[in-house]
Amino acid sequence: MKKVLIPTKLDPIAAETLRADGQYAVIQEPAVPLAEQVARHPDTYALIVRSEVVSAAVIDALPALKVIVRAGAGFDTIDTAHARKRDVDVMNTPGANANAVAELVVSLMLADARHLLEADKSCRAGEWEKTKFLGRELARKTVGIVGLGNIGRLVARRLAGFEVTLLGYDPLVGSERARELGAEWVDLETMFSRCDYVTLHIPENNETRGIVNEKLLSRMKPRATIINCARSGVVNEDDMRIAKKEKSLRFLNDVYPKDVAGPKSVTDIADIMLPHLGANTAEANSNAARQAAEQLIGLDRKGITSFIVNRDIPEGLDRTYCELANILARMCRSMLGRVMPLKRIETSFYGDLAPYSDYLLVPLVAGIWDEFVPGMDHRAARVFLQDRGIDYDNRGVDHEKGYGSSITVDITSETDSDVLRHISVRGTVTEGNLMVSRINEFDKLYFEPSGDMLMFLYLDRPGVIGTVGAKLASAGVNIEDMRNPHHARTNHSLVIMKINHPPPPALVQEISQAIEAISAFSFSL
């Protein structure tokens, strides 16, 4: 029997499911501290946890440990890197909490629209203030959903019965998939200017941190409402304070930098604030518990690895090529524009990389979307793309072309309902260094993709590079490396350069206008 330790108040369905399978002995003692349970049960084979911290010390204290399952999506409380060193698989249960969060969003909208919290308090005090609590209806309002992943899609479905107009934004979901949800795909500026409600369902990362700022808030209608059940850092709180004063915006919040007791920085601006109740339902707890047990059984009996978030690379594959796949995808995404929804991804894996095409899809997808966990497997990556309406094709390759061990990534985005835009990049590894060998029609580049990058595509003519260099120099930007290939058939030239620090957007725009660039990009790798 394999011993499974559940040191948390997890729904009993997990223990029941495991015991019914017949190969597990389950210990569930939520009142006993984790450290004490670890000391009592050093022969533990698997841990199933919620918010408990599983540190390196905990992992080392369990020499028989092979699996850790987080009953929920986030796993930042688990030392996944140390677990990998100990050959311990870490899994999560994504999607188990999605419906609970979606229903909370609708609950917040209704509670605020009808003043339910204040009216309850007033009525209990013996008052009768119907006029004071004049509400508003959701019907015929316009609701924007930022992020059309698991939760965003469920929010759209839950709101369908309210006869609202739905707008959707997600840089990885095209207009066709948005229409399937009954939503019109729009950019963020359009959404914030048209909506009565905007609900946020995006991860917090370098691209989204503070994305709800003065630029977007200034476009909103007076008394419009923002609901944040995503991550606290996506909203610029200082800009929200100003916007609330100027436009009387409503702000409904369920997320904070840390889930702990004590004063909260949004107290003065949140019209409703909850203690992170999004996933706090009996059903979500039961779903996560059941998934955790079923995934452990699936791993042991069928070798299903889809939900492992800390997989190691397979034997025979150089880890550098995983980094290359990730970098090439990030380059393509940056050159297409981060706000453009994707339509199609195509890959070619040459030479010794062909047998690892499934594995290399994972870092590639993670390069396009930061929140896709690079430790998951190719099946999870394909489901991720399928859920967002993105076609994927791993093309057969002609090994006689002599490309060696190299990767080609082609990404097509949807600029509007009729116009597609395409970027193709090939790269390889030379003497341990990542190299970009081709961008679109420009071949034999052999440029190292790292640091702060700047690119311009322009109609070839004398003096362009001098103009670019002079503009950068006047702004105190130094060029550390550069390639400037020319394509005779199109008479286009590309300048790609590594510079010593990120250029201000205004500088990129100024240079682009000065050289009449066809396109201009800056990004950091």
Model pLDDT for residues 128-138, shown as the tens digit of each residue: 999 999 999 99
pLDDT at 36 over 90: yes
Output the CA–CA distances (angstroms, integers) from residue 381 to 6, 274, 373, 460, in the order listed: 29, 33, 9, 40
Q: Which residue, 327, 316, 382, is CA-closest to 351?
A: 316
3-state secondary structure of 520: strand
3-state secondary structure of 411: strand
Contact 93, 307 (CB under 8 A): yes
3-state secondary structure of 105: helix
- Nearest 5°: the CA angle 130, 102, 161 is 65
Checking phi first, is residue 386 left (phi over 0); if not, alpha (psi -120 to 50) or beta?
Answer: alpha
**Which residue, chain included where needed, has tokens 């597609």?**
420
**Burial class of residue 163 in the structure, from the number of CB atoms within 10 Å of its CB (0-12 exposed, 13-18 middle, 19+ buried):** exposed
According to CATH, where is 3.30.70.260 located in the chain? 450-525
3-state secondary structure of 135: coil
Q: Which CATH code for domain 313-420?
A: 3.30.1330.90
Specify the pLDDT at position 374: 73
Model pLDDT for residues 409-464, shown as the tens digit of each residue: 999 987 655 567 889 999 999 988 899 999 999 998 999 998 899 999 999 999 99
**Which residue, chain included where needed, has tokens 């369990």?**
62
According to CATH, where is 3.30.1330.90 located in the chain? 313-420
Specify the pLDDT at position 17: 97
Specify the pLDDT at position 189: 95
Specify the pLDDT at position 249: 97
Average pLDDT over residues 83-94: 93
- Point out the least confidently predicted range of 101-105, 286-290, 372-376, 516-520: 372-376
Contact 284, 7 (CB under 8 A): no
According to CATH, where is 3.40.50.720 located in the chain? 2-96+283-302, 98-273
Higher pLDDT, 26 or 335: 26
The whole-angstrom separation of Cα 336 and Cα 415 is 9
Q: What rounded mean pLDDT belongs to the chain?
A: 92
pLDDT at 179 over 70: yes
| Residue % of the chain over a pLDDT of 90 | 74
Residue 312 φ/ψ, nearest 5 degrees: -90, 165
Classified by CATH at the fold level, domain 98-273 comes out as: Rossmann fold (3.40.50)
Q: In CATH, what class is 2-96+283-302?
A: alpha beta
Specify the pLDDT at position 419: 60
Classified by CATH at the fold level, domain 450-525 comes out as: Alpha-Beta Plaits (3.30.70)
Q: CA quadruple 182, 185, 188, 192: dihedral positive or negative?
A: negative
Residue 238 is classified by DSSP as H
Model pLDDT for residues 280-329, shown as the tens digit of each residue: 999 999 999 999 999 999 999 988 888 898 887 888 899 899 999 999 99
Contact 151, 227 (CB under 8 A): no
Model pLDDT for residues 471-503, shown as the tens digit of each residue: 999 999 999 999 999 998 999 999 999 999 889
**Two tokens, residue 100:** 């609970």
DSSP notation for 427-442: EEEETTEEEEEEETTE
Average pLDDT over residues 81-110: 94
